[in-house]
Amino acid sequence: MKCKICGREAIVKLRSYNLALCKEHYVEFVKRRVEKAIKKFKMFNKDNRILVAVSGGKDSIVLWHVLHSLGYKTTGYFLNLGIDEFSMKSQEIAEEFAKKFALELKIEYLKDELGVGIPEIAKISRGKPCSTCGMIKRYMINRAGLKYDAVATGHNLDDESSVLFGNILHWQVEYLDRQSPVLPRDRSLARKVKPLVLLTNFEIKFYADLLELPYIQYKCPFSTGATTYFYKSVLEEIEERMPGTKVRFFLGFLENKKGFSSPHRELKPCKKCGYLTTAEVCSFCRLKERISSQFIFR
C-alpha cells in the first residue's frame, strides 16, 4: 500500500476517501480537515483568541494540538470535576500538554464553585450525574469563554452524526434546528465552535497515537451513554458497508437544515447570574440552591 501523495509506504487507508497515506501526509490530512471546517463554517481567524475546552480526552487534546500547530491563538481551559483519580489524571494530562507546547492553561475547580464535586452531586441526582455534569460544563466553559472570541470543543463527526441520528429518529425538530458546528455569540452566551466535525473518532485517535500525544485512556466512572454508543455503532456498521456515509449524512443535513427550523424559544437573562435561559432562574443557579440546602458547609 503506497501513499497516494508521495508514493512512500502508507500507514493507513481511509476508506471514506479511498485514500492511503504515509505518516507525514496523514498528519497533513488531519490538519487540512480542521482548516476546512474552520473556513467552511466561518468559525474564526488567526487574529481571534480561542479558548479550547480541554478534558484530557483524545478529542480535545488533538483539537488543541492541531489548532496550535496551524498557528491559531489558543488558551486551554480545564474544569476539575472532583471525580477522584479520573479528574486528577485528566488534569495532569492537560497540564503536561500545556507545558510541552508552552501554552496557557486555565484551571477551575467545581468544588470552589459549588462546594462539592460530581460524586456528591451524583448522590442527589439518583446516581446519574451525567446530564447535570453536562449542564455544569456548558455553564462554566461558557462563562470562561466570554473573554474570548470563541470557545472550541472537541465534538467530532461521530458525536455530531450520532446526535443527528437520534434527533431524527425521535423527530426532535427543535434540537435539529440548534445543531450546528457554530453557535454565534448572543449576549451572555459565548460563540461556540466545533473544528473537529469533519473528522471521525478513528481519524482523531489515529492522529493522537501517531504523534504520541498524551490523553486519558479510560472513561469517566459515571459514564453511561448507552444510547449514544448504540447510535454510534449503528452508524459505524452503515459506514463499514458504505464508506463516506457519515460525513455525507452530516453535511447533507447542514445543507438542508432550513427545512427543519422551529419557532425560537425566547431566552432571557437568569435573575441571579445573567446567563441566558428560558426560565426565571437558570439550571446552574437552581443547582447551587439545591446543593446549599442539602449540604452543610463549614
Question: Alpha-carbon distance 127 to 130, whole Å?
Answer: 9
The verdict on 220 binding ligand FES (CB under 6 A) reads yes
Length of the chain: 298
Query: Which of 227, 224, 225, 250 is closest to 238 using CA atoms?
Result: 250
In the bound state with ligand FES, the residue whose beta carbon lies nearer, of 78 and 222, is 222
Q: Which of residues 41-80 bind ligand FES (CB under 6 A)?
A: none
The verdict on 22 binding Zn ion (CB under 5 A) reads yes
Question: Alpha-carbon distance 29 to 26, whole Å?
Answer: 5
Q: Which residue has the cell 470562561?
A: 144
Spell out, one character per residue from 256 to 285, where the chain touches Zn ion: x when CB under 5 A holds, - when not. --------------x-xx-x------x--x
Question: Alpha-carbon distance 58 to 42, whole Å?
Answer: 24
Region of 30-38, 92-100, 180-188, 218-226 interacting with ligand FES (CB under 6 A)? 218-226
Instruction: Output the smallest distance, CB 139 to ligand FES, in A.
Output: 13
Number of residues interacting with ligand FES: please give it, by CB under 6 A: 8
DSSP percent split of the chain into helix, strand, coil, nearest 5 = 50, 15, 35
- Interface pick for ligand FES out of 130, 135, 267, 276 (rule CB under 6 A): 130
In the bound state with ligand FES, the residue whose beta carbon lies nearer, of 55 and 277, is 55
Residue 116's binding partner among Zn ion, ligand FES, none (Cβ under 5 to 8 angstroms by kind) is none
Question: Alpha-carbon distance 158 to 169, whole Å?
Answer: 16
Question: Alpha-carbon distance 230 to 243, whole Å?
Answer: 19
Q: All 3 cell numbers of residue 85?
A: 483519580
CB 243 within 8 A of CB 169: no
Per-residue CA distances from 269 to 44, 135, 167, 280 (Å):
26, 16, 27, 8
Spell out, one character per residue from 236 to 275, where the chain touches ligand FES: x when CB under 6 A holds, - when not. ----------------------------------------
Q: H-type helices in the chain, by residue range?
A: 23-40, 58-69, 84-100, 110-114, 118-124, 130-145, 157-169, 173-178, 201-210, 226-241, 245-256, 283-294
Residue 275's binding partner among Zn ion, ligand FES, none (Cβ under 5 to 8 angstroms by kind) is Zn ion
Instruction: Output the smallest distance, CB 163 to Zn ion, in A.
Output: 25
Instruction: Output the smallest distance, CB 287 to Zn ion, in A.
Output: 9
CB 204 within 8 A of CB 59: yes
Question: Alpha-carbon distance 117 to 287, whole Å?
Answer: 12
In the bound state with Zn ion, the residue whose beta carbon lies nearer, of 5 and 130, is 5
- Interface pick for ligand FES out of 8, 9, 123, 223 (rule CB under 6 A): 223
Residue 213's binding partner among Zn ion, ligand FES, none (Cβ under 5 to 8 angstroms by kind) is none
- Interface pick for Zn ion out of 1, 2, 6, 45 (rule CB under 5 A): 6
Q: All 3 cell numbers of residue 132?
A: 447535570
Region of 24-32, 72-80, 220-228, 242-250 interacting with ligand FES (CB under 6 A)? 220-228
Instruction: Output the smallest distance, CB 68 to ligand FES, in A.
Output: 24
Per CB under 5 A, residues contacting Zn ion are 3, 5-6, 22, 25, 270, 272-273, 275, 282, 285
Residues forming the site for ligand FES (CB under 6 A): 81, 118, 129-130, 133, 220, 222-223
